[in-house]
Amino acid sequence: MMINIKSLSEIELMRRAGKISKNALIVAGKLMKPGTTTAEVDHAVEQYILSEGATPSFKGYGGFPASACISVNEEVIHGIPGDRVMQSGDIVSVDVGACYEGYHGDCAATFAVGDVSEDKKALIEVTRQSFYEGIKFARPGYRISDISSAIQAYAESQGYSVVRQYVGHGIGTSLHEAPEVPNFGRPGYGPRLIPGMTLAVEPMINMGVYDVRVLSDDWTVVTVDGMPSAHYENTILITDNEPEILTLSNEICEICYL
Ligand code: MG
């Protein structure tokens, strides 16, 4: 599969899509309170994306019925928003994509609802940090699996496991493009990184074992041992030097672990 290298004008559109995506994630983060349903969060995300002249990338993608993937506790990714009421102590992963003038942004984070245990908070923080450990290698001179390897090494050094069955991806005019960006593996493999590549880097980190399975709704991915999982994702641009995070907001959201 060919990797699409983006032009400057394409990158500008991806910055717009990325900002809308991250702002939508912040909208979700502010609603992370006990008593709120996941459908209410999804509705707010969708309204925000539409109000910005964009469309929700996930709605209808492969038949997915909502604008945000909302995954609670042992749910890893692809949770379907609905009547579930969020409770104090839950950790909730929200994954949001927005498409602006044909270009996608994709980002995710895990939020704490009410009073959350220290071990769940640590899982959230390590997952976020594993993204930043990975993108230290997201620059020319390295290959895709150098990012993967750094994510895995950090997450495992903290006592967690890395989901294998789902991976990050290239992104642009399609939500998922080549190449795949795994969160595990030996360094030095895969395509060389060159300026103009745009990648969604998205570690999914489990407190227990790395194995996951899909529920009978055909979407929701859960840990097989029922232990909690966290997710963190940004869309990045490979440049001549450090990567640029395209899913960036002007807003600082401290409660959101963004
Ligand atoms: Mg993604």
What is the enclosing helix (H) or strand (E) of 150? helix 144-157
The Å distance, Cα 168 to ligand 1 centre, comes to 6
On whether residue 52 sits in a domain, the answer given is yes
* Number of folded domains that form the chain: 1
pLDDT at 170: 98
Structure-token pair, residue 202 = 């998205």
pLDDT at 128: 97
On whether residue 76 sits in a domain, the answer given is yes
- Domain hosting 209: range is 8-245
The Å distance, Cα 200 to ligand 1 centre, comes to 5
Structure-token pair, residue 251 = 């807003």
The Å distance, Cα 212 to ligand 1 centre, comes to 17
- Residue where the block lists tokens 């395209």: 246
On whether residue 86 sits in a domain, the answer given is yes
On whether residue 94 sits in a domain, the answer given is yes
On whether residue 255 sits in a domain, the answer given is no
pLDDT at 253: 63
The Å distance, Cα 77 to ligand 1 centre, comes to 10
Distance CA 124, CA 256 (A): 11
The Å distance, Cα 159 to ligand 1 centre, comes to 24
Q: What's the CATH number where 63 sits?
A: 3.90.230.10
pLDDT at 255: 55
pLDDT in tens, the chain (258 residues): 799 999 999 999 999 999 999 999 999 999 999 999 999 999 999 999 999 999 999 999 999 999 999 999 999 999 999 999 999 999 999 999 999 999 999 999 999 999 999 999 999 999 999 999 999 999 999 999 999 999 999 999 999 999 999 999 999 999 999 999 999 999 999 999 999 999 999 999 999 999 999 999 999 999 999 999 999 999 999 999 999 999 999 776 665 556
On whether residue 253 sits in a domain, the answer given is no
On whether residue 80 sits in a domain, the answer given is yes
Total residue length of the chain: 258
On whether residue 250 sits in a domain, the answer given is no
Distance CA 197, CA 65 (A): 29
pLDDT at 250: 78
